[in-house]
Amino acid sequence: MKRIVVLLALSQLGSVPVRAVDYVSDVLPIMKEHCWSCHSNEEEVKGNLALDDLDEMRDFTIREFSLIRPGNPDESSFLEKMLLPPGDNDFMPRKGDPLPKAELDLIRKWIVEGAIVDAKNPSEKEKARLAGTEMGPDEDELLKFHSWTNTEGRAIEARFLRLVDEAVTLVMRDGKSYQVPLATLSADSQALARKLGEKK
Compute and round to an integer the Cα radius of gyration of the chain: 18
Stretch that binds ligand HEC, among 6-14, 33-41, 120-128, 165-173 (CB under 6 A): 33-41
CA dihedral 23, 25, 31, 36 (to 10 degrees): 110
Under rule CB under 6 A, residue 158 binds ligand HEC: no
Residue positions counted in the chain: 200
Under rule CB under 6 A, residue 69 binds ligand HEC: no
CB of 179 to ligand HEC, least distance (A): 27
| 88-125: b (≥16 Cβ within 10 Å) or e | eeebbbeeeebbeeebbebbbbbbbbbbbbbbeebeeb
Stretch that binds ligand HEC, among 42-50, 120-128, 155-163, 186-194 (CB under 6 A): 42-50
Decide whether 39 or 58 has the Cβ nearer to ligand HEC. Answer: 39
Query: Which residue in the set 67, 130, 167, 182 belongs to the binding site for ligand HEC (CB under 6 A)?
Result: 67
Site residues for ligand HEC per CB under 6 A: 34-35, 37-39, 46-49, 67, 77-78, 81-82, 92-96
